[in-house]
Amino acid sequence: RKEVEQDPGPFNVPEGATVAFNCTYSNSASQSFFWYRQDCRKEPKLLMSVYSSGNEDGRFTAQLNRASQYISLLIRDSKLSDSATYLCVAVTDSWGKLQFGAGTQVVVTP
Amino acid sequence: NAGVTQTPKFQVLKTGQSMTLQCAQDMNHEYMSWYRQDPGMGLRLIHYSVGAGITDQGEVPNGYNVSRSTTEDFPLRLLSAAPSQTSVYFCASTGTTTYEQYFGPGTRLTVT
């Protein structure tokens, strides 16, 4: 079983709609979590950290559910430019080793 | 602030050739990593370093060597290139306290 699992999608979303997707992690000792965005053939870029209390950055909201061991990302008022692959990341040990999920593809359509 | 830089951006090798992928960061991060990403697949950790002089193997280390003589530089060496090493290679450095990881732009390697 992979340490971080994501639904690969694609999630096809009309422009202006809301989309949400989850990521599950297997290591209950994971302390830090992130969402990254990756555009086709580009490097992953940090989108946001995920805090225990949840956090919001503009149209993006991330939540952490430790009891069920998943994190979520919600995108409101989707823009065409939100089309990308979203990578879920869990920090699994003290040196900062990151476990990446394989990504969820989001396609926003006009 | 350049962040993480990688060279070259593109490279074509013949089977059996060796080469070094360069990576440098100017954020004074202790942790650095090398990943490869194949089409439709996630990032796979090749090697990582927790500081100058300290390196360790990741998930897919075979066929690659690394060294870390300075905090800034973390080169990845392909010993004898094979077609299975055709991939996109990303170098990353990680903030020591935040664990936020920053990636270089990648090197697209083709081995024929």
Interchain CB contact of B50 with A (< 8 Å): yes
Question: CA-CA distances (angstroms) from residue A100 to A25, A33, B4?
Answer: 10, 10, 19
Q: Give the span between the Cα atoms of B19 and A29, in whole angstroms.
A: 38
Q: Cβ separation of B101 and A89 shorter than 8 Å?
A: yes
* A 12-71 residues with CB < 8 A to B: 32, 34, 41-46, 49
If you measure CA to CA, which chain B residue comes closest to A51?
Answer: B98
pLDDT in tens, A2-60: 789 999 999 999 999 999 999 999 988 888 899 999 998 899 999 999 978 789 999 99
Q: CA quadruple A23, B41, A37, B104: dihedral positive or negative? A: positive
Size of interface A-B (CB pairs under 8 A): 49
Per-residue pLDDT of chain B (112 residues; tens, 9 = 90+): 679 999 999 999 999 999 999 999 999 999 999 999 998 778 999 999 999 999 999 999 999 999 999 999 999 999 999 999 999 999 999 987 778 899 999 999 999 9
